Structure 1
Amino acid sequence: MSKKNRRAGGTALAENGAQESSPENPRRPCPCGSGRRYKACHGSADAADLIVTRPFAGLAAETELIALREFLPAASAPLTLIEPRADIPSVTVASVLPGAAAALTRSDRSILLGMQVQTHTGDLSRDLAAALEWALAAEPSSVLSVIGRATVGNRYGDLIVDEPLDVTVYDDFSWWLEEEIVPGSEVALSLERANAAIMPTARVADLPGAYWVDAGERAHLRWVRPEDEPPLMAALARLHVADQLDLGSGSRYVGSFRAHGRLVPVWDLDRDAHPSEWDEPARAFADRLAAALAVDEPLTDAERRARDGILGRQFTLR
């Protein structure tokens, strides 16, 4: 990328929220939120391939957007445009769309945005905004298969109202369809194949980011947490030492994974129990965790050992 193009990119980034607007200062913090200097991040030649660790940092919907992106099979949530359009009846974000499309418009110009897409850049927030901007200008019944490689432009919070998401989880993908399908048709066969891949999933106690899933041999609770990792790990260690880390009979804490800058604790659950049976245990755990997070004292030796053991039960998605 030439110096001229880099300066043009720097100006565009500044117009979309740079902390320091001068395109002549490559040492300023990159406005994408990565923590890097601009010259080493979106001002570099390979900017399209850089990873923004927390693409949805600071958003009320962060945990739900991560769940939609990483592990929810069939789910959606309505979005609210900052600048509503009379000709756009609705905007909906979904876990996955037909063909893993980035976006599509329906016959009435309502918009569906996909989180689990065929290709993406290193900034999922900008990808989502780019897909939305395409859909706002697209004709009815259009499909955007893949995202481009833009390194500047709007991000999710520039176009969508910052509010919690009301996620609906579906048993199948029939919600994709605008009209009834003909039995035996190619559409019907494609839908059948997609439905066969769905693992039964349910929200738990309407707690943000908390989802039960039947993975076959066992069931799990996966819970995207909003807290930063160090205080969350300390709180989990305190609960472990107090023998309060599980969700009661038939449950076992097994570890956690990282996704887009947040930690996702995982529990094994009794597969024979109905998902709703974990609502009250999950709420009780949320109360215990809140109390542990509020403790402002150094960890004891036992708690430090517990924290180290919990850290050893992690794997990294990103």
Structure 2
Amino acid sequence: MAKKSRIKARDTAPVDGEVGPRQPCPCGSGKRYKACHGAAGGAAPVFVSRPFAGLPGECDIIALRELVPAATVPLSVPSTDREVRLCTLLPMAAPAMVRDSGAIWLGLQVAHQYGDPARDLGAVLEAAIATEKSGIVGLTSAPGDGPRLHDLITNDSLDITVHDGFGYWIDDVEDQDAAMVAALEEANGSANPTVRLNSVQAAYWTDVGPKEHLRWVMPHQEDELLSALARLHAAGQDSVAEGSRFVGMFRAHGLLAPVWDLPVGTGAEVLEAPAAKFADALADALATGGDLSAEERSARAGLANRQVTIR
């Protein structure tokens, strides 16, 4: 008997581009694609490959969701007169919290995955706005067709504050008991020192103990960025500091985040000028037309093999 057609499964696949059935699903569930968004019958909600496109600071939002331990951003939300703060991580990885003051804290680093993080954020924010009682607000099922974060905020840019730790969890609490302080200290122990560079967008230095890294989320299309990086690598122009080494890329929410290893003791300040110079060189490489040379094609193949998909 002939094998059953797999057309149905392909028709239900909601991602842009081809994903092999045995590859990890791009939604980040940990399942193989054929058992998740590639399953016949649509086993999971619609997956949006680039959910934060169109938001101000798309690259920074991705960095805050995936790479930065502790940061906050004030959001302008016309539908409420309450303070709304976007946070990397909230206690217990809560999707949102309504504080005693009525302020709303919205978390980026959460456990649930419903296919479109921007719609999840919109649903949680709407639920928090509708809630007067303080406490945690979250999702227990897919949010459906409600507004996305894009539809609820009016920020033209993001005013990002990167914190040394999670002290912002209790910065509105006057009476801080011993248990609260102890929990905060434990959380702070997992927060690697991180600094956002000023000379370029969405580039973050971090100290992970035995190493330092520069992790830089870039807005360019993947194929174009890979070719440009290959040109710079083949020309020996892919350094961002003395002794730095370009080691690969993360892929998250439809964009790439190149990563450099840095000598211990480098720090963030010395990266400012070299990062700006690299950004100029990258812009030139992106604007370069024509085919890659043999050396550049080899470099590109090597770079393509050094990608790790986060989401």
> Cα distance, 1:221 vs. partner?
0.5
* TM-score, reference length from structure 2: 0.83
3-state SS of 1:284 partner:
helix
3-state SS of 1:78 partner:
strand
Match for residue 187 of structure 1? 180
Task: Pick one of 26, 50, 54 that aligns with 1:58.
Answer: 54
* Structure 2 unaligned blocks of 5 or more: 1-10, 18-36
1:119 matches 2:115: no
- Name the aligned partner's letter for residue 71 of structure 1: L
> Cα distance, 1:146 vs. partner?
4.1
> Cα distance, 1:70 vs. partner?
0.6
Q: State which drifts further: 126-135 or 164-173.
A: 164-173
* TM-score, reference length from structure 1: 0.81
3-state SS of 2:120 partner:
helix
Distance change (3 Å), C-alpha of 1:159 and 1:247: same
Match for residue 70 of structure 2? 74
The alignment of Structure 1 onto Structure 2 pairs a total of residues equal to: 280
Aligned 8 A contact 1:251 1:270 in 2: yes
1:203 matches 2:189: no
3-state SS of 1:281 partner:
helix
Match for residue 22 of structure 1? none
> Cα distance, 1:78 vs. partner?
1.3
Q: State which drifts further: 142-151 or 307-316.
A: 142-151
Match for residue 226 of structure 2? 233
Aligned 8 A contact 1:68 1:115 in 2: yes
- Name the aligned partner's letter for residue 284 of structure 1: K
> Cα distance, 1:48 vs. partner?
4.5
Task: Pick one of 240, 244, 256 that aligns with 2:249.
Answer: 256
Whole-Å separation in 2 of the counterparts to 1:182 and 1:53: 42
- Name the aligned partner's letter for residue 53 of structure 2: A
Match for residue 151 of structure 1? 144
Whole-Å separation in 1 of the counterparts to 2:175 and 2:43: 43
Task: Pick one of 267, 270, 290 that aligns with 2:260.
Answer: 267
Task: Pick one of 114, 126, 130 that aligns with 1:137.
Answer: 130
1:283 matches 2:276: yes
> Cα distance, 1:167 vs. partner?
1.4
3-state SS of 1:157 partner:
helix
> Cα distance, 1:142 vs. partner?
2.4
Cα deviations across residues 128-165 of structure 1 (Å, max 9, x unaligned)? 00111011111152211445322321111111125332
Whole-Å separation in 2 of the counterparts to 1:65 and 1:105: 21
Match for residue 15 of structure 1? none
3-state SS of 1:227 partner:
coil
Whole-Å separation in 2 of the counterparts to 1:190 and 1:139: 26
3-state SS of 1:208 partner:
coil
Aligned 8 A contact 1:93 1:113 in 2: yes
Match for residue 311 of structure 1? 304
Aligned 8 A contact 2:79 2:152 in 1: no
3-state SS of 1:254 partner:
strand
3-state SS of 1:121 partner:
coil
1:85 matches 2:97: no
Whole-Å separation in 2 of the counterparts to 1:317 and 1:171: 24
3-state SS of 1:287 partner:
helix
3-state SS of 1:211 partner:
strand
Aligned 8 A contact 2:85 2:105 in 1: yes
Q: State which drifts further: 221-230 or 296-305.
A: 296-305
3-state SS of 1:308 partner:
helix
- Name the aligned partner's letter for residue 56 of structure 1: F
Q: Percent identity?
A: 44
Cα deviations across residues 95-133 of structure 1 (Å, max 9, x unaligned)? 001111101122232211000113231110110001110
Whole-Å separation in 1 of the counterparts to 2:151 and 2:186: 36
Whole-Å separation in 1 of the counterparts to 2:289 and 2:42: 43
Aligned 8 A contact 1:241 1:306 in 2: yes
> Cα distance, 1:92 vs. partner?
1.2
Whole-Å separation in 2 of the counterparts to 1:48 and 1:150: 12
Cα deviations across residues 177-228 of structure 1 (Å, max 9, x unaligned)? 1124545x22111111111111111112252211011111100001011000
Distance change (3 Å), C-alpha of 1:241 and 1:191: same
Aligned 8 A contact 2:212 2:266 in 1: no
> Cα distance, 1:84 vs. partner?
4.5
* Structure 1 unaligned blocks of 5 or more: 1-28
